[in-house]
Amino acid sequence: MAEVSNQTPLSDDMLRDMNRYWHAANYLAAGMIYLRDNPLLREPLKPEHIKNRLLGHWGSSPGQSFVLTHLNRAIKARDLNMIYISGPGHGAPASLAHAYLDGHYSEIYPDCAESEGGMRRFFGRFSFPGGVGSHCTPETPGSIHEGGELGYSLSHAFGAAFDNPDLVVALTIGDGEAETGPLATSWHSNKFLNPIRDGAVLPVLHLNGYKIANPTVLARIPEEELEMLLKGYGWKPYFVSGDDPEPMHRKMAATLDQCLDEIAAIQRHARDNDDPTRPRWPMIVLRTPKGWTGPKEVHGHKVEGTWRAHQVPVTDAATDRKSLHIVEDWLRSYAPHTLFDEAGKLVDSLRALAPEGARRISANPHANGGTLCKALDMPDFREFAVEVKAPAASYTSPTEALGRFLCGVMRRNMTNFRVFGPDETASNKLTAIYEASGKTWIAESEPDDADGGDLAPDGRVMEMLSEHTLEGWLEGYLLTGRHGFFASYEAFVHVIDSMFNQHAKWLEKSKKELGWRLPVPSLNLLITSLVWRQDHNGFTHQDPGFLDVVTNKSPDVVRIYLPPDANCLLSVADHCLRSRDYVNVIVADKQPHLQYLDMDAAIVHCTKGIGIWDWASTDQGCEPDVVMACAGDIATMEALAATQLLREHFPELKVRFVNVVDLYRLMPNDDHPHGLSDRDFDSLFTTDKPVIFNFHSYATLVHKLTYRRKNHANFHVHGYRERGNINTPLELAIINGVDRFTLAIDAIDRVPKLRGVGDHAKEWLRGEIIAHQAHAYREGIDAEAIRDWTWSA
């Protein structure tokens, strides 16, 4: 097992002081759980000092505080630019304690000053209503990592390190967390980190042996096996194991020095020789008891080093005398009176161990990315416009046009913009990006690898077949103040539903409640390879339901756009790339689609977010007989074709054509800032006329957004009905009822004055459906009748 043999970087004095610093952090972590009063134990501990309800998690804190104490020494000794990510579940007390000890916590939250009263409040707000919980949240200074859901610490760390050549991202990975899929594959991120251009990631895999109630897999395999696993992932692991603090401090200090020396040597070599060959980055495996330094035994049960140390090690301190003594003995074992001065502040000799100012791990500006964020240097998106001479007369792949624009963005922002996609950038027709930059790849490569996008150590297009890793990288990149764009197949964006949820929650908290966190670039998520064009992938690739997940999040942080064509997509993308603190979800397909608006019209339309297309309407500003509305590319095309069919059959019929780009326009304006007022909504959709709404996704989402509108009872929404197989586009539209014929039939049924009169037309339309289906079953997938159509004015 690789252990560092020279264990003498610490003088005895330094070791003693570091141990005391660690004790101070442990004292605070325990105090947060237990003390409502008597925070410095200046009087004997009494039941009334104990919190009424004991909440919090002790298990992971001492190990993480140990790591942080050692990182402090390294930062000071080497003047490191370092941030820290706390991966293990419920590990916040360690980060909170260190932020309090280095003074930054009190700067941000002055009510928690460095005083006895401040410490009481610091303890009090932990697991208290309106306070802070037991995992790292946006409220935690120095953190970019939402610790509530496990699995993303390592990918977040890499995201932070990309394009930050001087930054070292240290992180602790919990051995529970390490069992998750996202964490397990994110070890491979080292094949995507360029030692010349990017910073370093230093993982500490913390084997404290237990999750909530079970031992962990990685702690219960032979150490040789674990070492092979980590080496197999491409890392160079060093082991630091034990429970006796003194030798552990020596080992940890020596090992940390070894790792940081190696990191420096790797970077020096790579940068001096312009050699980005994949290094074997060092990492640490730290094996310590769970709840280290906590109570050894309670009520006859072993606690330290077992699952019993996970949460509150002594639960009856307020009611059981013996338990109260255990807690008091435990807290006093850290000798708080020697750690904090009269006023209640950490004594100067210990404070001197912490870095200063922005070097403090709780105050590093990279962990508050908005402070470092530079706006993108944006090209004029109008220059990437697709020529549209007449509506619905020519075809273009919207994402192909977007690719050219993103290429332009990339060219001007070669240090703070990246594009992410799971091996699908080319499949999603964003290939033009590669003209500005290739794909990041630090593994082996071969001459025939290039598929239009070169594999290159300095590529800026990130592709790995793991949506989890990409999303984690992107979040880490954004939260440290840079910009990004993520494209994913629509059906499989559900893979990162929960990551989206957590990021949206992070944004909401930081934006609405934490003035000290400055806005960060939005997370721009392009959903493509859409449900309606899964010609040969079929049913499994048909799920447009991510929008339902999105609409459950706070209106303050989510936006959804369904640009109907390429120019609208460009306008929307430009807007999103300039925005801050949102998750922007853009739905646009990669296949060639009909184009409707020239760039000027597209800008007007996207700025309004919803609007009447006069050229497709026959109501001439009067009250229409029927409103044909739509959102989404295929939905728009079919709605337009339906309008044309209606016009052919009923020249006198007044049809108003409404297209929706910004989905939240549909919501009432008191529910969402983008929402239309009732007055504006009614003026578009009328208050009593039938509305045939053709929607990209599941129909119920439109009802969810509009149910409070006056005319809602007249909304007849068509959308995906979970019916699919290998289908031609038109056939798929037909079986889900979003095709032109079904829409036209629905309109005829809903317009009172067509009742009876429309029967003949309906019969003809039904015949068309049957004819097209027969054609599809005869001719196969190549029967792309859906495209054999243009608008005739």
| Interface positions, 705-764, toward a copy of itself (CB under 8 A) | 707, 712-713, 722, 725-728, 731
DSSP letter for 677, please.
P
State the nearest-atom distance from the C-beta of 772 to a copy of itself, in Å: 11
567 near a copy of itself, rule: CB under 8 A: no
59 near a copy of itself, rule: CB under 8 A: no
Q: Which of 141, 369, 453, 758 binds a copy of itself (CB under 8 A)?
A: 453
DSSP letter for 279, please.
P
Residue 19 vs 498, nearer CB to a copy of itself: 498
529 near a copy of itself, rule: CB under 8 A: no
Report how far residue 328's alpha carbon sits from residue 337's, in angstroms, rounded to the nearest whole number. 13
State the nearest-atom distance from the C-beta of 164 to a copy of itself, in Å: 23
Q: What is the b/e burial string over 289-310, where b = at least 16 CB atoms within 10 angstroms of the residue's CB?
A: bbbbbbbeebeeeebbbbbbbb
Q: Which residues, numbered 147-186, are part of the site for a copy of itself (CB under 8 A)?
A: 147-151, 176-177, 179-186
Residue 563 vs 719, nearer CB to a copy of itself: 719
785 near a copy of itself, rule: CB under 8 A: no
127 near a copy of itself, rule: CB under 8 A: yes
Q: Does residue 142 come out as left (phi exceeding 0), alpha (psi in the -120 to 50 range) or beta?
A: left
Report how far residue 148's alpha carbon sits from residue 145's, in angstroms, rounded to the nearest whole number. 9
Q: Which of 539, 764, 789, 791 binds a copy of itself (CB under 8 A)?
A: 539
State the nearest-atom distance from the C-beta of 367 to a copy of itself, in Å: 18
Residues 213, 219, 222, CA angle at the centre, nearest 5°? 140
Q: Which of 371, 498, 669, 790 binds a copy of itself (CB under 8 A)?
A: 498
Please tell me the total number of residues recorded for the chain in this structure. 793
DSSP letter for 385, please.
P
Cα separations (Å) of 587 from 60, 158, 493, 500, 639? 41, 28, 12, 16, 17
317 near a copy of itself, rule: CB under 8 A: no
Residue 364 vs 440, nearer CB to a copy of itself: 440
Q: Which of 497, 678, 680, 749 binds a copy of itself (CB under 8 A)?
A: 497
Which residue type, as a one-letter code, is found at position 532? W
491 near a copy of itself, rule: CB under 8 A: yes
Among 231-239, 266-274, 564-572, 596-604, the segment contacting a copy of itself (CB under 8 A): 231-239
Among 125-133, 372-380, 586-594, 746-754, the segment contacting a copy of itself (CB under 8 A): 125-133
Residue 327 vs 495, nearer CB to a copy of itself: 495
Q: Which of 76, 553, 674, 750 binds a copy of itself (CB under 8 A)?
A: 553
State the nearest-atom distance from the C-beta of 56 to a copy of itself, in Å: 7
81 near a copy of itself, rule: CB under 8 A: no
The answer to whether residues 751 and 692 touch, using CB atoms and an 8 Å cutoff, is no
Report how far residue 403's alpha carbon sits from residue 734's, in angstroms, rounded to the nearest whole number. 31
Q: Which of 21, 561, 596, 698 binds a copy of itself (CB under 8 A)?
A: 698
Report how far residue 716's alpha carbon sits from residue 732's, in angstroms, rounded to the nearest whole number. 19
Report how far residue 590's alpha carbon sits from residue 570's, in angstroms, rounded to the nearest whole number. 14
515 near a copy of itself, rule: CB under 8 A: no
State the nearest-atom distance from the C-beta of 19 to a copy of itself, in Å: 27
Report how far residue 471's alpha carbon sits from residue 525's, in angstroms, rounded to the nearest whole number. 10
Residue 269 vs 509, nearer CB to a copy of itself: 509
Query: What is the DSSP pairing of strand 395-396 with strand 593-594?
Result: antiparallel
Tokens of 353: 């161990």
Q: Which of 8, 11, 52, 620 binds a copy of itself (CB under 8 A)?
A: 52
Report how far residue 396's alpha carbon sits from residue 388's, in angstroms, rounded to the nearest whole number. 10
Report how far residue 516's alpha carbon sits from residue 209's, in angstroms, rounded to the nearest whole number. 37
592 near a copy of itself, rule: CB under 8 A: no
60 near a copy of itself, rule: CB under 8 A: no
Which residue type, as a one-letter code, is found at position 543? D
Residue 86 vs 728, nearer CB to a copy of itself: 728
Q: Which of 137, 571, 643, 686 binds a copy of itself (CB under 8 A)?
A: 137
The answer to whether residues 37 and 120 touch, using CB atoms and an 8 Å cutoff, is yes
State the nearest-atom distance from the C-beta of 377 to a copy of itself, in Å: 29
Q: Which residues, numbered 596-625, are part of the site for a copy of itself (CB under 8 A)?
A: none
501 near a copy of itself, rule: CB under 8 A: yes
Q: Which of 38, 502, 636, 711 binds a copy of itself (CB under 8 A)?
A: 502
Residue 342 vs 722, nearer CB to a copy of itself: 722
State the nearest-atom distance from the C-beta of 759 to a copy of itself, in Å: 23
The answer to whether residues 187 and 233 touch, using CB atoms and an 8 Å cutoff, is yes
Residue 509 vs 654, nearer CB to a copy of itself: 509
What sections of 139-200 are H helices per DSSP?
A: 153-161, 181-186
State the nearest-atom distance from the C-beta of 591 to a copy of itself, in Å: 13
Query: What is the DSSP pairing of strand 200-207 with strand 167-174?
Result: parallel
The answer to whether residues 550 and 667 touch, using CB atoms and an 8 Å cutoff, is no
Report how far residue 70's alpha carbon sits from residue 284's, in angstroms, rounded to the nearest whole number. 13
The answer to whether residues 226 and 285 touch, using CB atoms and an 8 Å cutoff, is yes
State the nearest-atom distance from the C-beta of 461 to a copy of itself, in Å: 10
Residue 234 vs 519, nearer CB to a copy of itself: 234
Query: What is the DSSP pairing of strand 297-298 with strand 301-302?
Result: antiparallel
Cα separations (Å) of 739 from 715, 724, 734, 787? 17, 14, 5, 12
State the nearest-atom distance from the C-beta of 270 to a copy of itself, in Å: 19
Residue with tokens 């008891």: 289
440 near a copy of itself, rule: CB under 8 A: no
Residue 152 vs 340, nearer CB to a copy of itself: 152
Among 106-114, 389-397, 548-556, 628-636, the segment contacting a copy of itself (CB under 8 A): 548-556
Q: What x-and-dash track marks residues 405-424 binding a copy of itself by CB under 8 A?
A: ------------------xx
List, as own/partner pairs, every contact residues 731-738 make where C-beta atoms lie below 8 angstroms and the sequence separation is at least 24, other chains included: 731/772, 731/773, 731/776, 731/783, 732/532, 732/534, 733/532, 733/634, 733/638, 733/786, 734/769, 734/772, 734/773, 738/532, 738/634, 738/635, 738/638, 738/694, 738/695
State the nearest-atom distance from the C-beta of 55 to a copy of itself, in Å: 4
444 near a copy of itself, rule: CB under 8 A: yes
Q: Beginning with the edge strand found earlier in the chain, give each strand of the sheet holding 626-631 in spatial order.
A: 610-612, 655-660, 626-631, 691-695, 715-718
Cα separations (Å) of 149 from 340, 434, 645? 34, 34, 51
Which residue type, as a one-letter code, is found at position 608? K
State the nearest-atom distance from the C-beta of 766 to a copy of itself, in Å: 19
Q: Which residues, numbered 338-397, are part of the site for a copy of itself (CB under 8 A)?
A: none
CB atoms within 10 A of CB 667: 21
State the nearest-atom distance from the C-beta of 786 to a copy of itself, in Å: 13
Q: Which residues, numbered 32-51, are part of the site for a copy of itself (CB under 8 A)?
A: 36, 51
| Number of residues this chain uses to bind a copy of itself (CB under 8 A) | 131
